[in-house]
Amino acid sequence: MIMTKEKTSAIHIDNKNLNHSPMEMQNKEIFTSKNFNLWYGDNHALKNINLSFHENEISAIIGPSGCGKSTYIKSLNRMVELVPIVRTEGEILYRDTNILDKNMTVEELRTKVGMVFQKPNPFPKSIYDNVAYGPRIHGIKDKKTLDQVVEKSLRQAAIWDEVKDRLNDNAYGLSGGQQQRICIARTLAVEPDIVLMDEPTSALDPISTIKIEDLMQELKKEYSIIIVTHNMQQAARVSDKTAFFYQGNVIEYNDTNIIFENPHDKRTEDYVTGRFG
């Protein structure tokens, strides 16, 4: 791919550089981390993270195992707090609200910021009940609305045709790739603002992977997506921006094509070219 943008439009975030110059035609910020730090007990897992993600984009997080990708993405919907020894400092703004604030209700946050996990984790219920779960717990009871939500979400997750005749079957009867798309449908059913995905295709075969990648391109029109992936090609294929994490630091964050073709940091270059990681 040939770079059309000026090199100066690229930003290079380091730990001190908080107020970077905005990229051209920047979409609205959905998440902004400011000097965000996280510890598991004494283990300083995330160090001074300063990052912004934008509306209707797919942002990828890459980096070697143990660098803090999952920890960071789970901080964005505060799922990371399920680990009792976690301690945080700094700010994460979700559309101008600091989600680390004591007054933030996590249920409300997680309704707006949905999550798809690495391993498909449908509930041991019917396909229908899986997708209807979110709307139901948020008070939607009437059958007609639920029917429509279920169909719409399954269509969005590109699995409607495969399951429309067996909505009452247990979701565990499906293949791994189908289960993962059910989980995506389940997440979409509450019409979130943002979808977080932590290695959503790492347990899947190449065909299911491609299906989910195509799906992400569709979803991007309505949602903002943040995806963690170990698969470099995947990050390059699907994302608009890429953040490279290394040992709890954000080493580089930029347009995906710059990260992959013209990285500014030696460590990024080594990683994306497969020299370590």
Ligand X SMILES: Nc1ncnc2c1ncn2[C@@H]1O[C@H](COP(=O)(O)OP(=O)(O)OP(=O)(O)O)[C@@H](O)[C@H]1O
Contact code string over 174-193 relative to other proteins, x by CB under 8 A: ---------x--xx--x---
Which of the ranges 16-24, 62-70, 256-264, 265-273 carries the binding residues for ligand X, by CB under 6 A? Answer: 62-70
Which residue in 13, 71, 4, 82 sits closest to 43, CA to CA? Answer: 71
43 near other proteins (CB under 8 A): no
Q: How far is the CB of 143 from ligand X (least distance, A)?
A: 40
- The answer to whether 245 and 69 have CB atoms below 8 angstroms apart is yes
Q: Token match 């791919």: residue? A: 1
- The answer to whether 46 and 214 have CB atoms below 8 angstroms apart is no
When the beta carbons of 195 and 258 are compared against other proteins, the nearer one is 195
- Cβ partners under 8 Å of residue 90, min gap 6: 33, 34, 35, 36, 37, 48, 49, 100
18 near ligand X (CB under 6 A): no
Q: What dihedral angle (degrees, nearest 10) is formed by the CA atoms of 119, 255, 233, 252?
A: -70
When the beta carbons of 201 and 249 are compared against other proteins, the nearer one is 201
CA 108 to chain centre: 18
Contact code string over 54-73 relative to Mg ion, x by CB under 5 A: ----------------x---
When the beta carbons of 81 and 270 are compared against other proteins, the nearer one is 81
Q: How far is the CB of 53 from Mg ion (least distance, A)?
A: 18
40 near ligand X (CB under 6 A): yes
Exactly one of 39, 40, 133, 160 binds other proteins (CB under 8 A); that residue is 133
Q: Whole-angstrom distance between the N-terminal and C-terminal Cα of the chain? A: 25
Which residue in 243, 257, 231 sits closest to 72, CA to CA? Answer: 243
- The answer to whether 113 and 76 have CB atoms below 8 angstroms apart is yes
Residues 74-93, interacting with ligand X (CB under 6 A) = 83
Q: How far is the CB of 211 from other proteins (least distance, A)?
A: 20
Q: How far is the CB of 145 from other proteins (least distance, A)?
A: 17
Q: The tokens of 210 are what?
A: 């491609």
Contact code string over 88-127 relative to other proteins, x by CB under 8 A: -------------------xxxxxx-xx-x-x-xxxxx--
When the beta carbons of 66 and 176 are compared against Mg ion, the nearer one is 66
d(Cα 276, Cα 150) in Å, to the nearest integer? 43
User: Which residues make up the interface to Mg ion (CB under 5 A)?
Assistant: 70
User: Which residues make up the interface to ligand X (CB under 6 A)?
Assistant: 40, 43, 45, 63, 65-71, 83, 230
